[in-house]
Amino acid sequence: MKYLDEFRNGETAQKLVAEIRRTVTRPWSIMEVCGGQTHSIIRHGIDQILPDEIELLHGPGCPVCVTPLEIIDQAFAIAARPNVIFCSFGDMLRVPGSHGDLFSVKSQGADVRIVYSPLDALNLAKQEPDREVVFFAIGFETTAPANAMAVKLAHSQGVDNFSVLVSHVLVPPAIEAIMNSPTNRVQAFLAAGHVCSVMGYWQYPELSERHQVPIVVTGFEPLDILDGIRHAVIQLEAGRACVENPFHRVVAFEGNQSAQQLINEVFEVCDRSWRGIGNIPNSGFRLRDHFTKYDATSRFNVTTTTTSVTSPCRSGEVLQGTLKPHECEAFGTTCTPRTPLGATMVSSEGACAAYYNYGRLIDIETQA
Amino acid sequence: MNSPESAYFKGSNCPIPLQDYPQIVMGHGSGGKLSADLVEHLFLPAFRNDCLNQLGDSAVVEVGSHRLAFSTDSYVVRPLFFPNANIGDLAVNGTINDLAMSGAHPLFLSASFILEEGFAMESLATIVQTMSAAAKRAGVQIVTGDTKVVDRGHGDGCYINTSGIGVVPAGVQIAASRAQPGDAILVSGTIADHGMAIMSVREGLEFEAPIKSDTAALHGLVESILNVCPETHVLRDPTRGGIASSLNEIATASGIGVALKDSAIPVNPVVRSACELLGLDPLFVANEGKLIAIVPADKAEDVLSAMHQHELGQQAAIIGHVTSDHPNLVVSRTTLGASRIVSMQIGEQLPRIC
C-alpha cells in the first residue's frame, strides 16, 4: 500500500490548516458522516489543530453502533444454537446485547468465528455441510456488495446450509433524518468516501440543494479530511451549498456500477431501525423475496426475540451529533471499553471508543 | 451471592472487574486490561509475595550470593508453523527473553509438551529440532521436561510450556518500576512483525512481500546494552499487547508518563500497510524479538549505537522519553503535531468492518 506517508504529511497539514484559518470568519459545525473518519480525526488529533471556530460533529456512520439491539439479540440467539457456526466481522464481537456480548456467548460454548469477508463464511459452509453457517451481514453500502455476492454465490452453487442475518443501513436517508431533526446543528457534511466509492454521489446534489447544506465527499487520511473541511468551510463562508468531490482519486460520480447492480439484484430497500436513533424510513436493505431462503431470521425463527433496554446509554445523541462522547455522564465512569453500555464505546469506528482510547477526556500537552 | 462464581470473589480479591465476566473470555489471555485484571484481582491476592509483586517478565530471587532470574511461559500459537519460524522457536526464545529482560544471562530451560491425540509425529519432530537449534544458538540447555497427551479435540495439536533460569550479573537492577523522568526510551527494531506474520497465515492474507516473524533470543543484545549502560533502568520484550501494553505497564509501575513520537517508531512498510488494511494499530501488535530499553538520557546515544552494532538491533531507534507531566499515561505526538493517548488494549484487537 502506497500513499500512507503522503497523506499524513505534517507540513502539508499545517498549510491546509493555515488556509482554513484564513478563510474562516465565524463558527461552523461540520459533521463527518463515517466512524472511520471520526477515528482518524481523533487518532491523528485533527480536531486539535483546527481553528476554534470549526466544530466537528461525529456522525452515525458506524455500522456496529447503529445495529439495533433486537438484531444483536437475534444474533446471540442464533449463535447459541448447537449446530450453528456464527461468523462475524471482529468488530461486532464485543458489542453488548441485552445479555452480554458475542465473546460471552462464545465462552459458553457457541461456535463464533471472526471472518474478514462473507465469502470466507460461504467457504466454511461448503467445508462443513452438516453445520449451519450464519454470517452477520451488517454495514453500510460499503459492505453490501460483498454480502450480496455471498448470497448470490450460495444460491448459484446450492450452498443451502448458508444464511445471513442482514442489518444493512444506508447513508443518504441518515443525512436526511439528521437534517430534518429539530435539534440538528449540522451546517455541512463530509460524506463517507468509502460508501461513495461504491454508490457514487449522484444521490447527493438533490439533498444538498433541498436542505441548502454543503456535502463534500471526503476520504479517511488526515490530509483528505483536512481538505474536505477546507472545501466545506469555503462553501459555508461563501454562502454556497453544493456537492464537491476532492476525493476523486477513489470516488466517481456514478460510483461502482457493477457493485450497485449486484446490490440491487440481491437486496431491496426497506425501513430500518437504528440503534439509539430509531426508525428511519427507507434506510436499509433486506433480501429480495427470491433470496429469502438465505435469511437467517426466518430460518431460525428468531423474529420474536424480546430485548430489554435499561441502559442509560446516550449513544443516539452521540450518533446524531448533538452530544459529544465526553459530555455523557456515563463516559469513562460506568461506561468504558471494558464495560461498554453501548456500541459506540466498542467499535473501532465508534465515537465514544475513539474519545476514550485516545484520551479525549484529558487535556494534555507533550513535547516528545 | 451464592452462585459458585461468587465464591471466588471473597477475601482480599477486589470483586468488581472479575464479576463482569463469570466465565473466562479470550480477552483474559490477550495481555491487555482483562489479563491485568486477572493478575491483579485473582492471582496476586492469592499468591502474594515480594518477588511476584514486582510483576516482571521474570522473577529475580536471591540464592546464596547469586541472584537468579526465573520465568515460565506457555505457547499456544495457532498456526504452529508460520513464516520464518514455528512454535518451537517461540517456546525457546520467548522464555530466554523473559529472563534477559531482568538483565540475566540465561542458562537452563525446561520443556513441557501437551500433545493432542492424532498430532503428526513429523510435525512434532520438526518442532523439537527447531527447539534444539534455537537452544544451541542461544547457548542454553534444555535440562528437564514432561509430556502429556490429551484426547483428540481437546488441544490444538501441540502446546508447549517452557521455564527458564538465568543468572543476573552483580550491580544490574532492572525493573518496570525504575523508569525516571528524563530517561530515554528505545526500541530495538521494527515493531508488529510477529503478530502480523501470524495473522497473515491464520487468515490467509497475502501481502506484497511475506511478513516474517521476528522471533529471536535477545540476551546477546541485552549484554551489549548492559556493557555500555549497566545502570539501564527498564527492559521489556513487548510480546502480546505490543509496545503499547508494555509501556502502559511501565508507566503504571513507575508512576511516570511516557511521551512518544509516532514518526520515530520503526515499522516495516509492509507491516504498516497490513495493519492499515485490517484496522489494527501496530503499537498493539505482538513482537517476539524486540525489546524496549529505558535508560538515563545521557546514555541514550551510547545504547543506541551499541544496539545498531548488534545484528538484532540494526533498526533500533529512540522513540520517546519518560516525563513527570502525565503520570501513568502514554501519550504520543502524531505526525500532524497533535497528541493522542495510547491506552492499554482491553482484550484482543479486533479487525474492523470496512
Instruction: Please provide the DSSP assignment of A311-332 as one string.
Output: ----HHHHHTTSS-GGGSTTBT
Which residue in the set A142, A143, A358 is minimally distant from B340, CB to CB? A358
For CA atoms A297, A300, A304, A310, the dihedral sign is negative
Amino acid at A87: C
| Angle between helix A10-23 and helix A222-238 axes, rounded to 10 deg | 10
Residues of chain A contacting residue B332, judged by C-beta atoms under 8 Å apart:
366, 368
| Angle between helix B219-228 and helix B87-100 axes, rounded to 10 deg | 20
Which residue in the set A90, A103, A143 is minimally distant from B27, CB to CB? A103
- Strands B66-75 and B158-167 turn out to be antiparallel
> Residues 198..217 of A with a Cβ closer than 8 Å to B: which?
none
Nearest alpha-carbon partner for A149 in A110, A191, A120 = A120
In the structure, what pLDDT confidence band is assigned to residue A93 with cuts at 50, 70 and 90? confident
- pLDDT by residue (tens digit) across A198-247? 999 999 999 999 999 999 999 999 999 999 999 999 999 999 999 999 99
In the structure, what pLDDT confidence band is assigned to residue A309 with cuts at 50, 70 and 90? low
> Residues 316..345 of A with a Cβ closer than 8 Å to B: which?
337-339
Does A368 sit within 8 Å of B320, measured CB to CB? yes
Query: Is residue A349 within 8 angstroms of chain B, CB to CB?
Result: yes
Mean pLDDT of A291-314: 81
CA distance B322 to B299: 14
Query: Is residue B326 within 8 angstroms of chain A, CB to CB?
Result: yes
Q: Residue B317 CB: number of other CB atoms within 10 A?
A: 19
Q: Which residue of B has its CA nearest to A4?
A: B273
Residues of chain A contacting residue B325, judged by C-beta atoms under 8 Å apart:
364-366
Q: How many residues does chain A have?
A: 368
- pLDDT by residue (tens digit) across A259-290? 999 999 999 999 999 988 889 999 999 999 99
- pLDDT by residue (tens digit) across B21-57? 788 888 888 777 788 889 989 999 999 998 898 888 8
Does B352 sit within 8 Å of A339, measured CB to CB? no
Helix (H/G/I), strand (E/B), else coil: B146: strand
pLDDT recorded at residue B348: 64
Does A357 sit within 8 Å of B343, measured CB to CB? yes
In the structure, what pLDDT confidence band is assigned to residue A308 with cuts at 50, 70 and 90? low
Which three cell numbers mark A93?
Answer: 464481537
Does B278 sit within 8 Å of A359, measured CB to CB? no
Does A116 sit within 8 Å of B278, measured CB to CB? yes
Which residue in the set A108, A114, A364 is minimally distant from B351, CB to CB? A114
Query: Is residue A44 within 8 angstroms of chain B, CB to CB?
Result: yes
Mean pLDDT of A104-132: 93
Mean pLDDT of B76-95: 92
Query: Is residue A194 within 8 angstroms of chain B, CB to CB?
Result: yes
Q: Is the pLDDT of residue A57 over 60?
A: yes
Q: Residue B10 CB: number of other CB atoms within 10 A?
A: 9
B176 in Cβ contact with B226 (< 8 Å): no
CA distance B290 to B216: 8
Q: At A324, give phi and psi (nearest 5°).
A: -85, 145
Which residue in the set B23, B273, B346 is minimally distant from A107, CB to CB? B23
CA distance A55 to A26: 11
First-residue to last-residue Cα distance in chain B: 43
Does A36 sit within 8 Å of B354, measured CB to CB? yes
B180 in Cβ contact with B308 (< 8 Å): no
Cα–Cα distances in angstroms (integers) from residue A123 to residues A87, A127, A162, A211, A294, in the given order: 11, 6, 9, 45, 15
Beta bridge partners of A86: A112, A134
The owner of cell 455500522 is A63
Which of A194, A338, A339, A349 has the highest number of chain B CBs within 10 A, making it the mutation to test binding with B? A338
Nearest alpha-carbon partner for B87 in B56, B113, B117 = B113
CA distance B351 to B354: 9
Instruction: Please provide the DSSP assignment of B234-302 as one string.
Output: EEE---TTHHHHHHHHHHHHHT-EEEEEGGGS---HHHHHHHHHHT--GGGS--SS--EEEE-GGGHHH
CA distance B337 to A78: 47
Does A356 sit within 8 Å of B26, measured CB to CB? no
Does B203 sit within 8 Å of A116, measured CB to CB? yes
pLDDT recorded at residue A305: 57
Which three cell numbers mark A364?
Answer: 494534555
Does B273 sit within 8 Å of A338, measured CB to CB? no
In the structure, what pLDDT confidence band is assigned to residue A134 with cuts at 50, 70 and 90? very high
> Residues 14..33 of B with a Cβ closer than 8 Å to A: which?
17, 20-21, 23-27, 33
In the structure, what pLDDT confidence band is assigned to residue A349 with cuts at 50, 70 and 90? confident
B332 in Cβ contact with B262 (< 8 Å): yes
pLDDT recorded at residue B4: 34
Mean pLDDT of B97-110: 97
Q: Residue A127 CB: number of other CB atoms within 10 A?
A: 10
In the structure, what pLDDT confidence band is assigned to residue B202 with cuts at 50, 70 and 90? confident
> Residues 90..129 of A with a Cβ closer than 8 Å to B: which?
90-94, 103-104, 106-108, 114, 116
CA distance, residue A182 to nearest chain B CA (Å):
31
Which three cell numbers mark B172?
Answer: 544490574
In the structure, what pLDDT confidence band is assigned to residue A306 with cuts at 50, 70 and 90? low
Q: At B57, give phi and psi (nearest 5°).
A: -65, -30
Q: Is the pLDDT of residue A35 over 60?
A: yes
CA distance A130 to A83: 8
Amino acid at A222: P
Which residue in the set B331, B335, B343 is minimally distant from A10, CB to CB? B335
Amino acid at B316: A
CA distance, residue A112 to nearest chain B CA (Å):
12
Nearest alpha-carbon partner for B34 in B226, B213, B241, B218 = B241
In the structure, what pLDDT confidence band is assigned to residue B18 with cuts at 50, 70 and 90? low
Q: How many residues does chain B have?
A: 354
pLDDT recorded at residue A91: 81
Count of A–B CB contacts within 8 Å? 143
Residues of chain A contacting residue B277, judged by C-beta atoms under 8 Å apart:
1
Please list, in sequence order, all residues whose beta carbon lies within 8 angstroms of the beta carbon of residue B130, skipping any fewer than 6 positions away. B85, B86, B88, B89
Angle (nearest 5°) at CA B168 between B165 and B170: 155
Q: Which residue of B has its CA nearest to A221?
A: B276
Query: Is residue A56 within 8 angstroms of chain B, CB to CB?
Result: no
CA distance, residue B292 to nearest chain A CA (Å):
17
| Helix locations, chain B, DSSP H | 16-19, 33-38, 44-47, 50-53, 87-100, 121-138, 193-202, 219-228, 242-254, 269-278, 300-309
- pLDDT by residue (tens digit) across B298-315? 999 999 999 999 999 999
Which residue in the set A46, A107, A364 is minimally distant from B331, CB to CB? A364
Helix (H/G/I), strand (E/B), else coil: A133: strand
CA distance, residue B119 to nearest chain A CA (Å):
21
CA distance A271 to A269: 7
Across chain A, what does the average pLDDT equal?
91
Which three cell numbers mark B271?
Answer: 507491516
Q: Is the pLDDT of residue A176 over 90?
A: yes
CA distance B354 to B350: 12
Rounded to an integer, what is the distance from CA B106 to the centroid of its chain? 17
pLDDT recorded at residue B1: 34
Share of chain B above pLDDT 90, in %: 72
pLDDT recorded at residue B12: 35
pLDDT recorded at residue B145: 97
Cα–Cα distances in angstroms (integers) from residue B180 to residues A247, A280, A289, A358, B52, in the given order: 46, 55, 67, 24, 22
A50 in Cβ contact with A228 (< 8 Å): no
CA distance, residue A84 to nearest chain B CA (Å):
18
Query: Is residue A172 within 8 angstroms of chain B, CB to CB?
Result: no
Query: Is residue A309 within 8 angstroms of chain B, CB to CB?
Result: no
In the structure, what pLDDT confidence band is assigned to residue B350 with cuts at 50, 70 and 90? low
Q: Residue B47 CB: number of other CB atoms within 10 A?
A: 11
pLDDT recorded at residue A319: 87
Mean pLDDT of B198-215: 80
CA distance A155 to A145: 15
